[in-house]
Structure 1
């Protein structure tokens, strides 16, 4: 009797062990998956990276397995294309081989497409003209943006500003998709629902966010500027945002330090002095804080703002605004 019980337990243990082996000892990604392992990543960080990319079932099991197999300090930095459904042993053997060299590139919030392309070309990664003129058909997974009229570049505003590890030899398409996918990750389902609640398209939200990004002097005032933009839109008042005028006049390829009266006369859909409402598309790549300011603006009564000593000074009436202009702008020019 005891012998039968022992055999039964042994069989159960074998079944459990075999099940664990099938679940944890193989990768779970069905298709080839590309991952990036940053310099200085610990075994735990690598394991979490693999888990977040749906390559392994258990990050804890992977760490234990890698340690037992002596791979704890053998995993190399770089980009890896990992086949689907392979053994953990094979995965570790791939990760210990030197990978493709990459360039670390940081694109600040507020960079426009031309600036991004210029920086990439300067590092011999892309052809600038090919990059900025790419269409939406280049995107592998697009749930955000549709073709729009009057914009200079369809991808303007949709490449998220961040630090990227770009493998040498990447194509324009590879880099564009990496940056666009990052924006799609940042622009959450909650953000999409909020845009619907506001009665605005994603393009309109990204456009407002780009205006906030270019106008805000610091993080604290982003939502206040968002409130001004919504207040002006609500009463049909021209936005009168210089950054949009400059973008339109320079076609997104340059900057000018000061807007003149002649600049304000140029017939352009981006001229927010001549045309009411939003420009046809974003004028730069907004960061997460500006996107959230566009979605959740400050509820205020301000219609004007002018750059003061420590950021913008806001006012509700044109009379107050003129007083602030005299105080901060004219005093500066007279010094």
Structure 2
């Protein structure tokens, strides 16, 4: 009888001791070396598999305390798959809290205004290298699927100009197709029905308006002068003058995979239909991603007699001086070239 009482007391103390160890372990901060490394919990992982993985990664000192806790509380099913960053030190209960929140790792994709489809493809391929398709050319091939913009621009040959510049958050496993759909979706939020109506008033198609907007985007960084730049484009079109926009030469070089950061004389002499130094009228399509500011400027150009402009070297704020005659322009151009020569010394 005494032996049974003694054994009962031992069992009670053992239970109390074990319970205290579990409680202490669950609340004890544990230091690890993986603070800057994402730990992936695959879909379909069992509770036991998750705890063993976290112990193997060093996030938990032992899987047992949490295993017992989850068994008692029955809350193991709340843990979610995903990619996690765990602070160090961290307690097992804090680890469980992270797993229950199911935080997914995202990658920021920033597309600046004025980026071409070639720039966008390069950035997507670099930031999402593990997703099919692989490489810039494969991304560019996907951009040739114009089904996303058939309702706006059935004559478009690719998605250039219709991928809205913005900063996006994507899961690391996102497909390239989903990225393009999101960017075009953002463009469609900006392109309002009244914009299409205004294009008709100007005797333009939406695609031509987007093309003009892309020219404005590459020529002017200042919202307040974009409508004036637009007026120059429209004035030149009405006079049958080549637009003479050198950024189209840059676009040609990127299209032919030979852009080295400098516009060469051969670029300006190219026979490409995008060469606005030689062709009269608009290029076949947009040459960059565009902001709503440039779209509005293309739709509502200022009323001016200007047909030339040159960078304003006096202000040095990326603004331009605008001219109505060739003589005025030549004087402004000479001042700009003199300034440029001085700057390059």
What is the TM-score of this pair, normalised by structure 2?
0.64
Q: Is the 8 A contact 2:125 2:139 kept in 1?
A: no
| Aligned pairs, number | 239
Matched, 1:165 2:173: no
Quote the offset at 1:173 in angstroms. Answer: 0.9
Matched, 1:326 2:334: yes
Using the alignment, how far apart are the partners of 1:274 and 1:297 within structure 2?
24
Quote the offset at 1:135 in angstroms. Answer: 4.9
Using the alignment, how far apart are the partners of 1:106 and 1:318 within structure 2?
40
| Structure 1 gap segments, 5+ residues each | 1-75, 79-95
Q: How does 1:183-332 map to 2 (within 5 A)?
A: 183-251=187-255, 253=257, 255-309=259-313, 310=317, 311-332=319-340
Quote the offset at 1:156 in angstroms. Answer: 1.3
Quote the offset at 1:291 in angstroms. Answer: 0.9
Cα 1:163–1:204 change in 2 (3 A) is same
| 3-state SS, counterpart of residue 262 of structure 1 | helix
Q: Is the 8 A contact 1:233 1:277 kept in 2?
A: yes
Give 1:134's aligned residue.
Answer: 142
Q: Is the 8 A contact 2:155 2:207 kept in 1?
A: no
Quote the offset at 1:269 in angstroms. Answer: 0.3
RMSD of the alignment, in Å? 2.4
Give 2:153's aligned residue.
Answer: 145
Q: Is the 8 A contact 1:105 1:164 kept in 2?
A: yes
Using the alignment, how far apart are the partners of 2:143 and 2:185 within structure 1?
15
| 3-state SS, counterpart of residue 244 of structure 2 | coil
Q: Is the 8 A contact 1:132 1:155 kept in 2?
A: no
Asked which structure has the greater CA Rg, the reply is 2
| 3-state SS, counterpart of residue 103 of structure 1 | strand
Quote the offset at 1:326 in angstroms. Answer: 1.4
Give 1:104's aligned residue.
Answer: 108
Give 1:27's aligned residue.
Answer: none
Give 1:117's aligned residue.
Answer: 121
Q: Is the 8 A contact 1:302 1:314 kept in 2?
A: yes
Cα 1:141–1:257 change in 2 (3 A) is closer
Using the alignment, how far apart are the partners of 2:191 and 2:240 within structure 1?
28
Quote the offset at 1:257 in angstroms. Answer: 4.4
Quote the offset at 1:224 in angstroms. Answer: 0.8
Using the alignment, how far apart are the partners of 2:248 and 2:269 within structure 1?
13
Using the alignment, how far apart are the partners of 1:258 and 1:307 within structure 2?
18
Give 1:46's aligned residue.
Answer: none
Q: Is the 8 A contact 1:145 1:203 kept in 2?
A: yes
